[in-house]
Amino acid sequence: MEKSNFVDQIRVFCKSGHGGAGSKHFMRTKYNALAGPDGGDGGRGGHIILRGNKNTWTLLSLRYYKNVLAEDGEAGSGNNSSGRFGKDIYIDVPLGTIARDEVTGSIEGEILEDGQEIIWLKGGRGGLGNARFATPTNQAPEHAQPGEDGVEGWKVLELKVLADVGLVGFPNAGKSTLLSVMTAATPKIADYAFTTLTPQLGMVEYRDGKSFCIADLPGIIEGAAEGKGLGHRFLRHIERNVALLFMIPADSPDHRKEFEILRNELEQYNPELLDKRFVIAISKSDLLDEELIVEIRKELPADIPNIFISSATHKGIQALKDLLWSIMNEDDKK
């Protein structure tokens, strides 16, 4: 099987630089053999820094870069010369990346904006030279500080796709086809389960030059919250969507039950997902007459907006864009 170029989670070993040692040095001149301490400070060890890059969409580059080792700081020297700082390492990551410690699982950083920088692992501080310890009562200090150690450990980078709207549905619900119709994206489309194995993003052109981002996510199946199918890999990507568009095909045997299964999987994975704005779209509705549309609408939850669409005939596509835009901007109207 072809190896996917979309990598949304990676494990790396990171080690920031050690600080350089301070210098224990005494100045000696032609006319003064004991001119006093002049040991310089050690340089700081290199940081490991995460940097947001809007042109990066995957963590693929880190697949072959499993050891991230920053440079140590240089030791100080005589004549009050400080050591050079260790070179910082910058890791460019996609927007939506979360950095975690593998052992504790705690979040150590989150990149949400282009150009945003987070010092992930700080380099060790350089030690002070003996010139720093000179006092009126101790004019020739015999000690200097060693540099501080850097930080090391196994870390995890995890990508959660940033999109305004996430498409939620069982495999073959028509999500990829809808994305191809609403945007310029070209997702793989075929009549078998899990055609979409990785998130596909597309920009929807709206009215008056406005636009929003929509993501076709891998199809959910019953038991996804326990990791079945693509499981957590799918569910992770919907956490940042403003609105969730539930795609249910017109030929589904039970539209209400299908929606409840999808909703239940989200709740089991993260109950906070139920606070998002929901929309139900009945796809392939070109197969339905008006009488069937009325009957299906009666099955659907009354408190959730619904719309009948067809990607094949473009039925309801503009109305769907209007509905999504309205829901995403509800707060602005209050």
**pLDDT for res 180:** 84
Residues 252-269: what's their mean pLDDT?
Answer: 88
What's the burial of 32, exposed, middle or buried (CB within 10 Å: 0-12/13-18/19+)?
exposed
- How far is it, in rounded angstroms, from Cα 235 to Cα 92? 24
pLDDT band of residue 83 (cuts 50, 70, 90) is very high
Q: Note the pLDDT of residue 195.
A: 39
Section 4-11 average pLDDT: 72
The answer to whether residues 96 and 112 touch, using CB atoms and an 8 Å cutoff, is yes
Least confident of 144-148, 158-162, 220-224, 293-297: 220-224
Of the candidate ranges 61-65, 113-117, 219-223, the one whose mean pLDDT is the lowest: 219-223
Top CATH class, 165-333: alpha beta
Which strands make up the sheet holding 67-69, listed edge to edge?
A: 67-69, 9-15, 152-159, 97-101, 107-111
Q: Is the pLDDT of residue 253 over 50?
A: yes
More confident residue, 330 or 204: 204
Q: What is the pLDDT of residue 219?
A: 56
* pTM of the shown model: 0.67
CA-nearest of 237, 259, 239, 240 to 248 is: 259
Q: What is the pLDDT of residue 167?
A: 87
Secondary structure (3-state) at 40: coil
Residue range 195-206: mean pLDDT, rounded: 69
3-state secondary structure of 153: strand
Would the pLDDT of 164 be above 60?
Answer: yes
Distance in angstroms (rounded) separating the CA atoms of residues 210 and 194: 32
Q: pLDDT, tens digit, for every residue of 91-126?
A: 999 888 999 999 999 999 999 999 999 999 999 999
Task: Using pLDDT thresholds of 50, 70 and 90, give the confidence band for residue 202.
Answer: confident
Beta 200-205 vs 211-216: how paired, if at all? antiparallel
- Mean of the pLDDT values across residues 204-220? 79
Mean pLDDT along residues 245-250: 92
Q: How many CA atoms lie within 13 A of 111 on its CB side?
A: 29
Cα Rg for the chain, rounded, in angstroms? 29
**Beta pairing class for 89-93 and 48-52:** parallel
Identify the pLDDT of residue 64: 79
Q: Calculate mean pLDDT across residues 142-147.
A: 93
Mean pLDDT of the chain: 84
Q: What's residue 1's pLDDT?
A: 32
**Could you give the residue ranges of the DSSP H alpha helices within the chain?**
175-182, 231-235, 255-269, 290-299, 317-328, 330-333
State how far the Cα of 97 lies from the Cα of 109, in Å rounded to an integer: 8
What pLDDT score was predicted for residue 9? 83
Distance of CA 119 to CAs 47, 92, 244, Å? 7, 12, 33
The answer regarding whether domain 9-159 maps to CATH 2.70.210.12 reads yes
Domain boundaries, the chain: 9-159, 165-333
Is-contact 12 154, C-beta < 8 A?
yes
pLDDT of residue 227: 45
Of 179-188, 256-265, 310-319, the least confident: 179-188
**Phi, psi (5° rounding) for residue 298?**
-65, -30
More confident residue, 161 or 153: 153
Residue 185 has pLDDT above 70, yes or no: no
More confident residue, 139 or 220: 139
Task: Report residue 217 as tokens.
Answer: 């996510």
Token pair listed for 273: 């997902």
Looking at residue 119, what is its pLDDT? 96
| pLDDT, average across residues 260-287 | 88
The predicted pLDDT at position 33 comes to: 66
Give kind and range of the element (H or E) at residue 215. strand 211-216
* CA 324 to the chain's CA centroid: 24
What is the SS3 assignment for 156? strand
Q: Could you count the other beta carbons within 10 Å of the beta carbon of residue 100?
A: 18
Which residue would you say has higher pLDDT here, 269 or 247?
247
Q: Predicted confidence band at 212 (pLDDT cuts at 50, 70, 90)?
A: confident
